[in-house]
Amino acid sequence: MGKHVSKLIDDNWFFVSLLVFVVVLPLSQALVSICAGGIFATALIEDNWKNKLIRIKKNKVLFSLPAIYGIYILSSVVSNKFSASLYDLQKSLFFLVIPFAFIMGKKINDQQKRFIFYLFLVSIIVSTVIAILKWKIFNTSEVFSVHKASLVSHIRFSFQLILAFWFVVLLVHKNFGKITFSFLLFFIAGACYFVFFLLFQQSLTGLIAFAGSIVFYLILLGVKLPGKNKFFFFIITMVLIAAPSVYILKAIEKFYDFEKVDKTTIDKKTTQGNLYSHDFDSPMVENGRYVYLYVCQREMKEAWNKVAEIKYDSLGANGYPVYSTLIRYLTSKGLRKDAAGVEALTGEDILNIENGIANVVYAGNKFSLYPRIYQTIWEYYTYTKTGNANQKSFSQRIEYAKAAISIVKKHPWFGVGTGNWKDEFKKAYARNNPHLNKEYYASSHNQYLNYMVKFGIIGFGVVLFFVLYPVFKTKRYKDHLFLLFLVFMFFANFADSNLESHMGSSFFVFFYCIFISGEISYLELPWQKQP
């Protein structure tokens, strides 16, 4: 083993620096920055400049990525607000540092590239084990607290899981028939584990990206099949696409199946003889039941303060008064908001309410996607009825997109520049939705809209060209893993500005350079000899 590793290194310390980078990528955001600097420093120091110049000429296609950073610099100069542009320049440094390292660094052969991916898989598995233990030990029953379990951003970590999944799948696909049944089971179990954790951490952005890549892969397989088989494969693909769509439509239908209320016959008093408060104008619902019907605050307060540690008027873990969470939670269970309803709560229910869980759906389905789907539907419904997007991830994204589109309409061709986009978004929010709290002001959370706001349609087109040009120039679109990598990032960038986030840009730029550099024939098993 030692001889094999020594042969792999072969005095290539740039390769070693890449290994260190993929090890820390799922583990620490701070270490990613340090290791990116280490990659650049190693490429700069190692070997003489004569050899470097030869490699620079061979790898000149990778200058496309630093050219994207050049657009940021040019935009900051044109906008004449260099200090305001520093934020964007700092976030986009990976587009400068990592490509230059690959341009100058020693060549990575197919065996070394393969080993980088293997070590990446190991690091991801270690990080998922740590995340599960962390979630299990420190879990506070907070809604979707699993999002906080991963050691880096759960959205960006989902991309690493997707890449790991496709590496294993394509490894099996390429070597099917050459591996033993036990190894086949091992690889399948690994792929299933990555999917399990992707579902477990419930990142909608990651799940959308994963679904998009699956559809693309099925199309890729179907195109290569002969006539009759292609038809049946097409039918199977359509069923696989339709199944989750039907599930989501059923969830929407279930959400909008509201209880029927007759104002003339509705109960006016509790079992204790106190008057109910009925707000027939409030549209708020939980599990199809109206939140502000059958409410008796006095009884709720007395009954709650007898059984709970966090009192009725205190703030819960979600930052809202306990009584507001209690009212929603009782509604979700089909209980009335009175003493009898509070007394029907279990000890677990009380703990859930104190921890800010407002609906029993969120507490009872920790390993299901339904709570995440329900939350998104609920957010959209609430937003359409009240216009309130505050503290609602999906609704805020709608406001972000609206603001971005309004800016693009005003500055379509060259955008507002990296120094002005924050001010322009503030003006857009003030125009579009004055009810959105300033603390939630942000960019569009859509990479394509972000580029168009800053650089305009023309600038966005130039960025797109710089990303795609190396792919076609090197013909690396023949590498199916690279193609799937680009596809799932394409879908993910509709839901977040991943290429302008620390972990998103470092992940994308690093593996983009890995795929463009070196050989394509890296999807071989380590014990197989090349023909």
pLDDT single digits (tens) 481-490 = 999 999 999 9
Domain of residue 348: give its range. Answer: 285-364
Confirm whether 54 is domain-assigned: yes
Domain final position from 107, 141, 162: 107
Nearest residue to 107 via CA among 29, 13, 184: 13
Residues of the chain with pLDDT > 70, as a percent, come to: 94
pLDDT at 88: 86
pLDDT at 277: 95
Question: Helical H runs in 176-317?
Answer: 181-201, 204-223, 227-255, 297-307
Give Cα separations from 104 to 17, 94, 129, 282 (angstroms): 13, 15, 36, 64
pLDDT at 3: 55
Confirm whether 320 is domain-assigned: yes
Tokens of 78: 């044109």
* 3-state SS, one letter per residue, for 15-64: HHHHHHHHHHCCCCHHHHHHHHHHHHHHHHHCCCHHHHHHHHHHCHHHHH
288: alpha, beta or left? (left if phi > 0; alpha if psi -120 to 50): left
Confirm whether 392 is domain-assigned: no
Mean pLDDT of 250-264: 93
Give the total number of structural domains in the chain.
Answer: 2
Between residues 471 and 2, the one the model is more confident about? 471
Report d(CA 85, CA 419) in Å as an integer. 4
C-alpha triplet 306, 312, 314: angle, nearest 5°:
130
3-state secondary structure of 315: strand
pLDDT at position 437 over 90: no
pLDDT at position 141 over 50: no
Confirm whether 60 is domain-assigned: yes
pLDDT at 251: 93
pLDDT at 317: 80
DSSP structural state of residue 413: T
pLDDT at position 6 over 70: no
pLDDT at position 93 over 70: yes
Mean pLDDT of 54-77: 93
Q: Which residue do the tokens 């971005």 mark?
A: 404
Number of Cβ atoms within 10 Å of the Cβ of 425: 21
The average confidence (pLDDT) of the chain is 88
Report d(CA 361, CA 286) in Å as an integer. 10
Confirm whether 162 is domain-assigned: no
Mean pLDDT of 172-184: 81
Q: What is the pTM of this model?
A: 0.88
How do residues 271-328 score in pLDDT, each as one tens digit? 999 999 999 999 999 999 999 999 999 999 999 999 999 999 998 887 889 999 999 9
Where residue 19 falls among pLDDT bands split at 50, 70, 90? very high
Confirm whether 10 is domain-assigned: yes
92 and 435 in contact (C-beta within 8 Å)?
Answer: no
Report d(CA 510, CA 18) in Å as an integer. 9
Angle formed by the axes of helices 49-58 and 94-104, nearest 10° = 110
Domain final position from 107, 132, 154: 107
Number of Cβ atoms within 10 Å of the Cβ of 513: 24
pLDDT at 54: 92
Number of Cβ atoms within 10 Å of the Cβ of 422: 16
Give Cα separations from 363 to 261, 326, 329, 466 (angstroms): 27, 14, 10, 46
| Minimum mean pLDDT range among 55-64, 203-212, 367-376, 470-479 | 367-376
Nearest residue to 510 via CA among 168, 147, 138, 23: 23
Non-local (6+) Cβ contacts of 312 within 8 A are 300, 301, 304, 305, 321, 322, 323, 326
Where residue 491 falls among pLDDT bands split at 50, 70, 90? very high
Reported residue count of the chain is 531
Number of Cβ atoms within 10 Å of the Cβ of 531: 4
Nearest residue to 105 via CA among 46, 22, 169, 188: 46
Tokens of 283: 């549209």
Name the residue type at position 330. Answer: L
Domain final position from 107, 130, 148: 107
Nearest residue to 197 via CA among 156, 158, 163: 158
Question: Helical H runs in 256-321?
Answer: 297-307
pLDDT at position 142 over 70: no
Confirm whether 64 is domain-assigned: yes
Q: What is the DSSP string of 441-472?
A: ----S-HHHHHHHHHHHHHHHHHHHHHHHHHH
Confirm whether 293 is domain-assigned: yes
pLDDT at 14: 94
How do residues 394-427 score in pLDDT, each as one tens digit? 889 999 999 999 999 999 999 998 988 888 999 9
pLDDT at 364: 66
Q: Which residue do the tokens 């029927």 mark?
A: 260
